[in-house]
């Protein structure tokens, strides 16, 4: 049963445009994450929020910015997309921050930059 919802499923855009991806979880979890999965299926952590507070910010370009209005929502904005931003962006949540954090993933947003 899906409990982490991502929109849109797909997005095609051109270099330099701005895009926004949405993520909502209905599990009542405190922690949410954004991962980037490249064409080789490798997942890299980008950001992590706990109770609306940013706690992990990996080395990602400044054009990426997360936004959290409440602990159930974590959106991702890319200001001016580049070709290397083409990937699947996966949102996840976990009950809390720390060692017991079992992840629950959304279906992902596939971004294609032309």
Task: Tell me the three-class secondary structure of 33-57, residue by residue.
Answer: EEEEECCCCCEEEEEEEECCEEEEE
Considering the complex, what minimum distance in angstroms separates the CB of residue 110 from other proteins? 9
108 contacts other proteins (rule: CB under 8 A): yes
Residues 20-49 that bind other proteins (CB under 8 A): 33, 35, 40-45, 48
102 contacts other proteins (rule: CB under 8 A): yes
61 contacts other proteins (rule: CB under 8 A): no
What residues are paired with 67 via a beta bridge? 75
12 contacts other proteins (rule: CB under 8 A): no
Closer to other proteins by CB, 56 or 72: give it: 56
What residues are paired with 105 via a beta bridge? 92
| Full DSSP string of 86-113 | -EEEEEEEESSSSTT---EE---EEEEE
Cα gap 57→49, rounded to integer Å = 9
69 contacts other proteins (rule: CB under 8 A): no
- Looking at 3, 56, 60, 72, which residue binds other proteins (CB under 8 A)? 56
CA torsion sign, 96 to 10 to 77 to 75?
Answer: negative
Sites of contact with other proteins (CB under 8 A):
33, 35, 40-45, 48, 56, 90, 92, 98-108
């Amino acid at each position: 049963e899906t409990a982490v919802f991502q929109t849109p499923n797909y997005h095609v855009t051109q270099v330099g445009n701005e895009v926004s991806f949405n993520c909502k979880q209905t599990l009542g979890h405190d922690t949410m994450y954004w991962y980037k999965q490249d064409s080789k299926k490798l997942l890299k952590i980008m950001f992590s929020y706990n109770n609306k507070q940013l706690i992990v910010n990996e080395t990602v370009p400044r054009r990426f910015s997360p936004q959290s209005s409440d602990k159930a929502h974590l959106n991702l904005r890319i200001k001016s997309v580049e070709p290397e931003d083409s990937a699947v962006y996966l949102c996840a949540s976990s009950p809390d921050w720390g060692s017991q954090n079992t992840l629950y993933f959304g279906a992902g947003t596939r971004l294609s930059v032309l």
